[in-house]
Amino acid sequence: MSHTKGLEGIVATTSQVSSIVDGVLTYHGYNIDDLADNATFEEVVYLLWNYRLPNKEELSSFSKELSQAATVPDEVIDQMRSFPIDKVHPMAALRTAVSNLALFDEEADEMDEEANRRKAVKLQAKIPTIVTAFARIRQGKDPVAPKEGLSFAANFLYMLNGEEPDETSEKAFNKALVIHADHELNASTFTARVCVATLSDVYSGITSAIGALKGPLHGGANERVMSMLNEIGDSEKAEEYIKKALENKVKIMGFGHRVYKDGDPRAKHLKEMSRQLTEVTGESKWYDMSVKIDEIVTNEKGLLPNVDFYSASVYHSLGIEHDIFTPIFAVSRVSGWLAHILEQYADNRLIRPRAEYTGPEKQEWVPLEKR
């Protein structure tokens, strides 16, 4: 038996949710560039779960369904109040709250397709409510209840800030959600598929996926990009900082990708959004510094920015706290996880690869008293 470290290049499943071919990302055949420029997040979720775009009536009824399912049981909110608030990362809070949500859903363990689709709607709708409630609770504020009639993007910002966003913020946030919705067999999606391939339930699959997304080599990178920008503080200091980090073999967050070697097609959209939004806030320094870092890392190391790099300055410009960046990734990516979970259930086989054993052979048992 031989193995490939990190399963690089291994095709582990078939999927019709999304694809990356020759550096081009599509959701069920629709180019990400078209979707980023034109689609609402609700349309994208519908596409990922149904393999087609909705017509007007379908979109309106799907949006209503999501909107009506957004309220989270009081018990789940109250449990978050009991967390050691100042020590808990919002991704840990989200992971726990989503697991807790299952305890208050009577059909959590029902496995028929209709029940799984209903649970998909519930999870997609309630995760934004959980993320925003936790963000507010730890500021000593009351959670803001979801408001029917707002778009998915606007409702998130409304629940976070307690006031409806302006059009620019809503549009930018919608685009960020569209861009993050799915990405073939990334680590968290693979985690979700492995989990539910045991015929475990949807909540378990999503809880596992949140755990995988949290890591700094995956979704956790966007928060760390902002920490780096803060630490550097000024474009003038970027070159010295980056060169030193590279010399010390420190990974620069937001750069590199397992699949894209010629650039992540999502990064250009986020870069442009960062340019526009930092101009609006009068804080172009974040964009300028990001561009500078981008140039240095590309020249020094040949690495290009991934989806997490420019999203940091985008979310910062929208006034979002830095440790909420990765939960926002989850708010969007849960749509892709759910699409993959439904696809896995529809044609399931246990996912159980092998490991090449590298430990010692034929060891002799030594009784406890002789060790």
Query: Which residues are the active-site residues?
Result: 257, 308
User: x/- string (CB under 6 A) for ligand OAA, residues 282-321?
Assistant: ------------------------xx--------------
Q: Does 335 bind ligand OAA (CB under 6 A)?
A: no
118 binds, among ligand OAA, ligand ACO, none (CB under 5 to 8 A by kind): none
In whole angstroms, the minimum distance from the beta carbon of 301 to ligand ACO comes to 6
R_g (Cα) of the chain, nearest Å: 21
Q: For residues 136 and 218, which CB has a smaller minimum distance to ligand ACO in the complex?
A: 218
Q: For residues 22 and 106, which CB has a smaller minimum distance to ligand ACO in the complex?
A: 22
Q: For residues 161 and 298, which CB has a smaller minimum distance to ligand ACO in the complex?
A: 298
**CB neighbours (10 Å) of residue 203?**
20
Q: Which amino acid is at 293?
A: I
d(CA 12, CA 233): 42
**Hey, which residues between 185 and 204 contact ligand OAA (CB under 6 A)?**
186
Residue nearest ligand ACO by beta-carbon distance: 256
In whole angstroms, the minimum distance from the beta carbon of 219 to ligand OAA comes to 7
Q: Which residues pair with 25 in a beta bridge?
A: 20
Burial of 251 (0-12, 13-18, 19+ CB in 10 A): middle
Could you give the angle at which helices 325-346 and 221-232 cross, rounded to 10 degrees?
Answer: 160
Q: Which parts of this chain interact with ligand ACO (CB under 6 A)?
A: 6, 217-219, 221, 251-258, 301, 303, 306-308
| End-to-end CA, the chain | 33
Q: For residues 136 and 257, which CB has a smaller minimum distance to ligand ACO in the complex?
A: 257
Among 3, 52, 81, 258, binds ligand OAA (CB under 6 A): 258
Tokens 């807790």 found at:
100
**CB neighbours (10 Å) of residue 6?**
10
Q: For residues 26 and 155, which CB has a smaller minimum distance to ligand ACO in the complex?
A: 26
Is residue 145 within 8 Å of residue 121, measured between CB atoms? no
Q: For residues 143 and 220, which CB has a smaller minimum distance to ligand OAA in the complex?
A: 220
141 binds, among ligand OAA, ligand ACO, none (CB under 5 to 8 A by kind): none
d(CA 174, CA 183): 17
d(CA 236, CA 156): 36
Alpha helix segments (H runs only) across 40-199: 41-50, 56-68, 74-81, 90-103, 113-137, 152-161, 167-180, 187-196
In whole angstroms, the minimum distance from the beta carbon of 14 to ligand ACO comes to 22
In whole angstroms, the minimum distance from the beta carbon of 155 to ligand OAA comes to 23
d(CA 132, CA 90): 10
Nearest partner of 246 among 199, 202, 303, judged by Cα: 303
In whole angstroms, the minimum distance from the beta carbon of 258 to ligand OAA comes to 5
DSSP assignment of 201-250: -HHHHHHHHHHHHTSTTTTTHHHHHHHHHHHH-SGGGHHHHHHHHHHTTP
255 binds, among ligand ACO, ligand OAA, none (CB under 5 to 8 A by kind): ligand ACO
In whole angstroms, the minimum distance from the beta carbon of 280 to ligand OAA comes to 26
165 binds, among ligand OAA, ligand ACO, none (CB under 5 to 8 A by kind): none
In whole angstroms, the minimum distance from the beta carbon of 34 to ligand OAA comes to 18
Using alpha carbons, list the distances in angstroms from residue 213 to 36, 81, 94, 222.
22, 24, 11, 11
Q: For residues 27 and 62, which CB has a smaller minimum distance to ligand ACO in the complex?
A: 27
Report the length, in residues, of the chain. 371
**Hey, which residues between 164 and 183 contact ligand OAA (CB under 6 A)?**
183
Binding site for ligand OAA (CB under 6 A): 183, 186, 258-259, 306-307
